[in-house]
């Protein structure tokens, strides 16, 4: 760091990430299962991919939060997308690349990625 402006920019970026992770109950919520089974299956890179992609695209009114066990360990990492006025979509066997596609297709364009859903994986 060479200036106060650089330090302030770093602070602002950190605050934006914290605000996104704390989330509000308004807007779309992306919930990543971060219990022991989720973490062991790779949920941390999935969570980070969602946070980075939402920030990179400067998408507003979307929060990325973590939760404990969702109850379907065989499909970990699990991600739930809860959008106001729409049915919850649960994705399973997620990875960072799939997270980016979910942001592009589901969050930005409103089209859930059917092949990643737990309902599709159970068939």
71 or 79, higher pLDDT: 79
77-103 burial, b if ≥16 CB within 10 A, otherwise e?
Answer: bbbbbbbeeeeebbbbebebebbeebb
The full DSSP string for 50-106 is HHHHHHHTT--SEEEEEES--S-GGG-S-EEEE-TTS--EEE-S--HHHHHHHIIII
pLDDT value for 25: 58
Phi/psi of residue 63, nearest 5 degrees? -115, 145
Tell me the domain boundaries of the chain. 4-121
**Stretch among 1-5, 35-39, 65-69, 111-115 having the lowest mean pLDDT:** 1-5
CATH architecture classification, 4-121 = 3-Layer(aba) Sandwich (3.40)
Half-sphere exposure at residue 105, Cβ-oriented, CA atoms within 13 angstroms: 13
> Could you read off the pLDDT of 77-113 as tens digits, one per residue?
999 999 999 999 999 999 999 999 999 999 999 999 9
Mean pLDDT of the region 66-85: 94
Per-residue pLDDT reduced to its tens digit, 16-52: 666 655 555 578 999 999 999 999 999 999 999 999 9
pTM for this predicted structure: 0.80
- Quick one: pLDDT band at residue 66, thresholds 50, 70, 90? very high
For 33, list phi and psi in degrees, rounded to 5.
-70, 115
């Amino acid at each position: 760091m060479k200036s106060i402006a650089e330090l302030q920019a770093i602070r602002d970026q950190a605050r934006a990430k914290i605000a996104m992770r704390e989330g509000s109950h308004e807007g779309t919520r992306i919930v990543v299962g971060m219990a022991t089974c989720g973490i062991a299956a790779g949920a941390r890179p999935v969570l980070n991919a969602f946070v980075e992609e939402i920030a990179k695209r400067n998408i507003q009114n979307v929060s990325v939060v973590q939760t404990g066990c969702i109850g379907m360990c065989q499909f970990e990492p699990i991600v739930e997308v809860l959008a106001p006025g729409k049915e919850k979509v649960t994705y399973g066997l997620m990875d960072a690349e799939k997270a980016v596609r979910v942001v592009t297709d589901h969050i930005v364009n409103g089209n859930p990625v059917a092949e990643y859903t737990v309902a599709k994986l159970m068939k």
